[in-house]
Amino acid sequence: MINLIHGDGIEKAESVIPAGSVDLIFTDPPYPKEFHYCYEFLAKEAARALKPDGFLITYAGPYWKHKVMMTLGEHLEYFYDFILMHRGNTSILWPRRIITGYKSLLCYTQKGSKALPVTNVLGKYDGTGGDKRFHRWGQEANSARYYIDVFSKQGDLVVDYFLGAGTFAEVCKKLDRNFIGFEIDKVTFDSAQARVDGALGPKEKGRQYELLQTGQ
């Protein structure tokens, strides 16, 4: 079941997602410093919503990664810093004159958890650097599919509080995961809705896809 919710995930999370019900939070908040509150929310929300053996995996840019890790560590336990390599064009940190070539997938668990991925997992994955066809901050699906697949099982619940144009929702539909995603922008939400509705082709439309629109 794929549930896409039009609204602010930070505001709506507790009313939609029961405590201790989520197997994997897989999400990509905006990276600039002014959006650091998103990581503060994720730290508290993951501690509330994750199952004891659940995982939080969040994308993070390298510039403010140290602050993001400190914030997440206040409520969660560090598991690993997975490195997602870029091919072709990549971002430049102009204030420090660095051509980055990668981003992090920061992985955390509940404090004291002994959770492990489904199978051995690559610490470095060669991605493409993003997919901007649907959203200017969009991520490519192949790397997301890899990490969702090794950190969850069929039928597990995956949540994304910053849905964007629905890359992770589309991946979860193809992998037979249950999914809840929140998107505050209506135009972007509509793009995600259309994308997920066609993820498995016309025969599956309306059969595996459930849309919940709130906050209209």
Average pLDDT over residues 30-51: 96
Q: pLDDT tens digits for 72-86?
A: 999 999 999 999 988
Residue 107: predicted pLDDT = 98
Stretch 58-85: mean pLDDT: 96
What is the per-residue pLDDT across 193-205, written as a single tens digit (0 to 9) for each?
Answer: 988 888 644 444 4
Q: What is the pLDDT of residue 198?
A: 83
Q: How confident is the model at residue 207 (pLDDT cuts 50, 70, 90)?
A: very low
Q: Which amino acid is at 121?
A: V
Whole-number average pLDDT of the chain: 87
The answer to whether the beta carbons of residues 29 and 58 sit under 8 Å apart is yes
* DSSP state for residue 30 in the 8-state scheme: -
**pLDDT at residue number 89:** 65
Give tens-digit pLDDT for 159-181.
999 999 899 999 999 999 999 99
Where helices occur in the chain by DSSP H, the ranges are: 9-16, 37-49, 65-73, 141-151, 167-174, 186-197
pLDDT at 211 over 50: no
Q: Say if residue 149's pLDDT is above 90.
A: yes
How far apart, in whole angstroms, are the C-alpha atoms of residue 78 and residue 2?
Answer: 29
pLDDT tens digit sequence for 100-134: 888 899 999 999 999 999 999 999 999 765 555 55
pTM of the model: 0.87
Q: Phi/psi at 34 (nearest 5 deg)?
A: -70, -10
- The C-alpha atoms of residue 62 and residue 145 are separated, in whole angstroms, by 22
* pLDDT computed for residue 74 by the predictor: 98
Q: Give the CATH class of 2-211.
A: alpha beta
Retrieve residue 213's tokens.
Answer: 């629109």
Q: Are strands 178-183 and 157-160 parallel, antiparallel or unpaired?
A: parallel
